[in-house]
Amino acid sequence: MLENKNDQRTPISDLGEFGLIDHLTKGISTIHSDTIKGIGDDAAVLKMNKNEVQVVTTDLLLEGVHFDLAYMPLKHLGYKAVVVNLSDVCAMNAQPKQITVSIAVSNRFTVEAIEELYEGIKLACQKYQVDLVGGDTTSSTTGLVISITALGTCLSGDVIYRSGAKVNDLLVISGDIGAAYLGLQVLEREKQVFAVNPKAQPDLEPYHYLVERQLKPEARTDIIKLLADLKVKPTAMIDISDGLSSEILHLSKASKVGCSIYEDKLPLDPQVITTCEELNLDSTTIALSGGEDYELLFTIDQKDFDTIKGNPNLTIIGHICAPEGGINLITRAQSQIPIIARGWNPLKNETHD
């Protein structure tokens, strides 16, 4: 009925998620003086008052793309949907305060199923002391859609961007990495087993930590508090939900620097190591590209080294260098390999180079 004026037909997969965002938001500028930071970080930053800024972030989760209800209980899904947004608030060094929750549901969901989802949402709100202040509820012709916006605040001088890393800063990561991805692999395997034999009783105990990291991740508000207590203000910060390799590239690009990450410093849980062996996967690759670990990656000035070193929640994994140095992994054998983004790309539906 309407004429198609587009002669050009470029598949979205040509650009991928970040390419598409860059392409669409190219040249967008802001006009309000209280818009301090627009597109390009974990969250936007708005001026609230003389002393405080507000951060705003939003995430869209679709059934069949971001989650599979075959092994993701609705209550966990609700909890996780909140957490992934709070993690972005943390990555700005802010305290989460409010969320809005929009959902679209098809008629295959019952009221009781949506209650389960909301139980998880409310549980996360309670745990993280966040107010659920609004949203939208509508129908979907197919699967479940969840869109959450999270708001938080921090003192004006405390907000941390991706762009502040300086040459010789140290690269620090909270917690450990790779577990959430392996948790997903284990659950996917059980789903296949179940498809063949619905009476099979899965023994997930050896993978308990991995499965928990996948199904019930936490946002590192505790790390924000720890850093404040230690009086360490990172120079740059990002959450590593899309995988360490992808996020280190974002941070380095935004800060216009290079960096070296040491393979032997990557923090891995013992279950990650044993499960990688079992599944014949390279644990370094998993740690670099796994994704869905809602940990924080940040840079600190060398003067803070003594305060950070030895803290069981934090691991120094490398350092920032000049941009000419590139972004490299220093292997156990002391060889230097350029890091490329291999995180999961929902717009290419495959890992990407």
List the interface residues with a copy of itself, window 150-209 (CB under 8 A): 151, 153, 190-191, 194, 202
Instruction: By CB under 8 A, tell whether 349 contacts a copy of itself.
Output: yes
Choices 19-27, 226-234, 286-294, 321-329 (CB under 8 A): range interacting with a copy of itself: 19-27
Tokens 């203000």 sit on residue: 233
Burial of 11 (0-12, 13-18, 19+ CB in 10 A): exposed
How far apart are the C-alpha atoms of 309 and 244, rounded to whole Å? Answer: 20
Query: Total residues at the site for a copy of itself (CB under 8 A)?
Result: 89
Q: Are 57 and 149 in contact (CB under 8 A)?
A: yes
Considering the complex, what minimum distance in angstroms separates the CB of residue 116 from a copy of itself?
7
Choices 18-26, 162-170, 176-184, 239-247 (CB under 8 A): range interacting with a copy of itself: 18-26
Secondary element (H or E) of residue 131: strand 131-139
Considering the complex, what minimum distance in angstroms separates the CB of residue 227 from a copy of itself?
22
Which residues are CB-contacts of 214 (< 8 A; sequence separation ≥ 6)? 179, 180, 181, 183, 184, 187, 292
DSSP at 101: E
Considering the complex, what minimum distance in angstroms separates the CB of residue 236 from a copy of itself?
18
Q: Which is nearer to a copy of itself, 70 or 337 (CB)?
A: 70
How far apart are the C-alpha atoms of 283 and 299, rounded to whole Å? Answer: 24
Q: Which is nearer to a copy of itself, 250 or 319 (CB)?
A: 250
Considering the complex, what minimum distance in angstroms separates the CB of residue 220 from a copy of itself?
20
Q: Applying CB under 8 A, which of residues 141, 197, 280, 334 lies at the interface with a copy of itself?
A: 141
Choices 5-13, 165-173, 177-185, 320-328 (CB under 8 A): range interacting with a copy of itself: 5-13
3-state DSSP call for residue 75?
A: helix
How far apart are the C-alpha atoms of 136 and 99, rounded to whole Å? Answer: 12
3-state DSSP call for residue 133?
A: strand
Q: Which is nearer to a copy of itself, 141 or 280 (CB)?
A: 141
**Positions in 102-121 near a copy of itself (CB under 8 A):** 102-105, 107, 109-116, 118
Q: Which is nearer to a copy of itself, 20 or 167 (CB)?
A: 20
Residue 352 tokens, joined: 């990407």
Considering the complex, what minimum distance in angstroms separates the CB of residue 139 from a copy of itself?
5
**Positions in 29-88 near a copy of itself (CB under 8 A):** 30-32, 34-35, 37-39, 43-44, 46, 48-50, 54, 56-60, 62, 64-66, 70-71, 73
Which residues are CB-contacts of 146 (< 8 A; sequence separation ≥ 6)? 60, 61, 62, 77, 78, 81, 101, 102, 103, 117
